[in-house]
Structure 1
Amino acid sequence: MRPPPASRQFTAAYYRRCVDMDAVDRVLLAVEQIPPGQVASYGLIGAITGVGPRQVGRIMGAYGGFVPWWRVTNARGELPPSVLKETLPHWQEEGIALAEHGRGFAFRAHVTDAVGLKRAYERHESF
């Protein structure tokens, strides 16, 4: 299904009609396993769930409102400026330090343990 010719952008409403709901469930489950005060990249979530990083981003944009979405960033630890302002209170509450450039978090201090995240995901996935 393609978007109408007048609009080639993927809107959240359009994406919800076209997405694999099993992939959505896997991504949201993985995001729920990220501990408070830690952050993972779209790529790490994708590697754990078998979903591409861009698809993870789209899933988070369309369905991520009820999971700790502020714990998922790009590989540089950054978020789009449109989301960053909304993210800052969550990061402050969890003790996630802002990077010097102000567009993301201090990556090395807060990146989650990939092996631990994968184990937590696999424990919950089997239920």
Structure 2
Amino acid sequence: MADLDRVEELPELADLVLAIVDQVPEGFVTTYGDVAAVAGTGPRQVGAVMSQYGSLAAWWRVLRADGRPPQGHEDEAVAFYREEDTPMRNGRVDLRRARHTLHSIEDVGPA
């Protein structure tokens, strides 16, 4: 994963994806597909961005459409879900209760 001290300029797609992920508040999640729809790209491209630059955002808040946490980071992600009181059910995030509605970056405005 990327180290903030070593990243000088993000590729445009990475910058966009991370800005979208930054919309997701504590205790909520989104899916790769949700982020992709707002970014105008595909879920695999979002996954690639998160794989390379996810450490610059709350990576655990982006998960698969079935509620499973990011592959290879399940234990760490579940610890974050518990810390943030993210609704879970049967070892997965309960998307019905925890899914955050994303907006285009233009709709969000400056932070």
Q: TM-score range by the shorter chain?
A: 0.7 to 0.9
Q: State the structure with more CA Rg.
A: 1
Q: How many residue pairs align between the two structures?
A: 104
Q: Percent identity?
A: 35
Q: Which has the higher contact order (CA 8 A, sep 6+)?
A: 2
Cα drift, residue 75 of structure 1: 0.9
- Could you list the runs of 5+ residues in structure 2 that have no partner in the other structure? 3-9
Alignment correspondent of 1:86 = 76
Do residues 118 (structure 1) and 106 (structure 2) align? no
Structure 1 unpaired stretches of 5+: 1-11, 14-19
Q: What TM-score results when the alignment is normalised by the length of structure 2? A: 0.81
Q: How does the TM-score come out when normalised to structure 1? A: 0.72
Q: Which amino acid aligns with 1:118?
A: H
Post-superposition, which runs of at least 4 consecutive aligned residues in structure 1 deviate over 3 A?
123-127
1:51 deviates by 1.7
1:109 aligns with 97
Distance in 2, matches of 1:29 and 1:87, equals 20
> Quick one: distance in 1 between partners of 2:35 and 2:62?
8
What's the RMSD between the two structures over aligned residues?
2.3
